[in-house]
Amino acid sequence: MSEPSPPASERRAKRAAARRRRAAESVAAHTDDYAELVDALGHWLTPPRVDALGAQVATYVARYRRANGASPGWGQTLTGSGVMDAVPFAPPEELASAARQKWRNVGFGAVMQACRARGWVDYGQRQRELVPGRRFAEAVRAAQTRRSNQAAQARP
């Protein structure tokens, strides 16, 4: 007598495990590509570029924290700040979706590391808490000072 076929849930679990395995293999196959990306970003991320991107990220984080009372997650910051749209290194077309996401994560990690080093963002006291850094606070104070000076000059 033949073996009964495994239940549908077991088949789905096996298919899902196979998809995860293929995705992990795809990501691992492109390790050199990720290293090249980090190297290219190291040359591309000049202080003026980091300052522009850092201001963009810090503004997003500050607005998110004000609106939600908590820090955005890494993925929310990646997608919500639009930083990776400004980076000229798109993932190669031949990468599978998991490898393309890894490319974005690696690139975003390099950008965030540079932004943190320049003081635009920092980590808070709690785990996974992203906060605007001292450079953002300085920029906000400078903008407020300019506004108050302009308002004082406008008065007769």
Average of per-residue pLDDT across 36-62 = 93
Q: What angle in degrees, to the nearest 10, is found between the helix axes of 97-117 and 8-29?
A: 50
Q: Kindly tell me the sign of the dihedral angle through the C-alpha atoms of 117, 55, 67, 72.
A: negative
Asked if the model's pLDDT at residue 69 lies above 80, the reply is: yes
Q: Kindly tell me the sign of the dihedral angle through the C-alpha atoms of 132, 135, 141, 143.
A: negative
Residue 135: the pLDDT is 94
Nearest to 113 by CA among 58, 50, 64, 62: 50
How much of the chain is helix, strand and coil, in % rounded to 5?
Answer: 70, 5, 25
- Asked whether the beta carbons of 68 and 129 are under 8 A apart, the reply is no
Residue 27: the pLDDT is 60
Confidence of residue 14 (pLDDT cuts 50, 70, 90): confident
More confident residue, 133 or 21: 133
For the chain, give the percent of residues with pLDDT over 70. Answer: 90
The pTM of the full predicted model, rounded to 2 decimals, is 0.72
Q: What angle in degrees, to the nearest 10, is found between the helix axes of 97-117 and 74-81?
A: 90
Distance, CA of 52 to CA of 103 (rounded, Å): 22
Residue 122 dihedral angles phi and psi, to the nearest 5°: -150, 175
Average of per-residue pLDDT across 75-87 = 88
Structure token digits, residue 65: 């924290």
Q: Where are the domains of the chain?
A: 9-154
Nearest to 135 by CA among 41, 43, 67, 57: 57
Amino acid at 21: R
